[in-house]
A and B are shown apart, each in its own frame.
Chain A
């Protein structure tokens, strides 16, 4: 009981207790000397704190003049900050969308390449494709053998090589597109920020 009352003595001293709790504390103080002593010490501490002198500071007028010389011409307008905050969120969203697009494209290419490896679309691979169907080393081998002979496992390695080559080209293309797009967004954002800062300083 006493500990519970002691915890409330600070708030009682500050006048922050509700009516019921205040009455409870006052009733307790009537017969508890320890709590009355504790309250008195809290009162003395508060008095001591508040009467501790403060050093001399410049007058309000002098201080105001110094502040007025230091503040920028204009305060921030809430609108500009909102736009910048919105753009900050836009950049990672676009990067994420681009990354998802890249992953989907790569997955579709992988599926298409595996179908090709199985020979299921042998007749269709040349259509609309501007990339070579043979790796350079395989082409050289064919030239040396005058186009004759079965290549067996070498054919498989050639297809894997072609697949990796096409995949690498597509990856580089997609990464370049993402990089250029993100770079443009960052440039736009930086120019916008620079414009806002210049208008604050020079307006």
Chain B
């Protein structure tokens, strides 16, 4: 089952590299979930994540002829996704992100039972805590926790040594716990 899926992706890749747009469209469908999960966790903003995901696939299409099958296509794609998400995040100002959050919060607070509101608060708190991490640590954490890449794959995606992956992940988890402990003590 896995072998046939891999074979399908190999065929699609080869066709896409020869200019077959439909084949690339299939690749987009295959990898959309993974990419949107990564970029959303990096950006913490729904609209920004959609823009980043779209830009990621556009860049992938432009550069697909240069892709070498030395590493899995998914890893190559995630590298583009991470870079795109960080680029867009840097361009968007902190002020406009806060405005989006305030707007979403004020609109959503009006509906749903209390349990949903609490769940939403926890979700927002977790996402804000992830956003508070430095970029380097955040990337490693997101790729590990939300894409379940191995340390080797993360090192390949981010082009860093495995030892750096381990140290950044340790730092990210420690820091995340500190931030969440402070948030929970303050009642969110």
Contacts and interface: CB of A to CB of B under 8 A. Distances in A.
Contacts of B166: 10-11, 16
Contacts of B25: 64, 67-68
A53 B119 contact: yes
A107 interface: no
B54 A45 contact: no
A198 interface: no
A10 B46 contact: no
A75 B170 contact: no
Interface of A: 7, 10-11, 14, 16, 41-42, 45-46, 48-50, 52-55, 57-58, 60-61, 63-64, 66-68, 70-72, 74-78, 81
Interface in B98-134: 119, 122-123, 126-127, 130
B24 interface: yes
Interface stretch (B6-14, B70-78, B81-89, B144-152): B144-152
A58 B17 CA distance: 26
A11 B54 contact: no
B185 interface: no
A72 B57 CA distance: 11
A148 B44 CA distance: 93
Interface residues of B, number: 45
A176 B64 CA distance: 43
Contacts of A77: 65
B122 A52 contact: yes
A75 B54 contact: no
A78 B177 CA distance: 46
A46 B145 contact: yes
6 contacts: A52-B122, A61-B29, A63-B32, A64-B28, A72-B62, A76-B65
Contacts of B21: 68, 71
Contact of A72 (B61, B126, B130, B150): B61
A68 B141 CA distance: 31
B176 interface: yes
A57 B36 contact: yes
Nearest to B21: A68
A78 B65 contact: yes
A50 B130 CA distance: 12
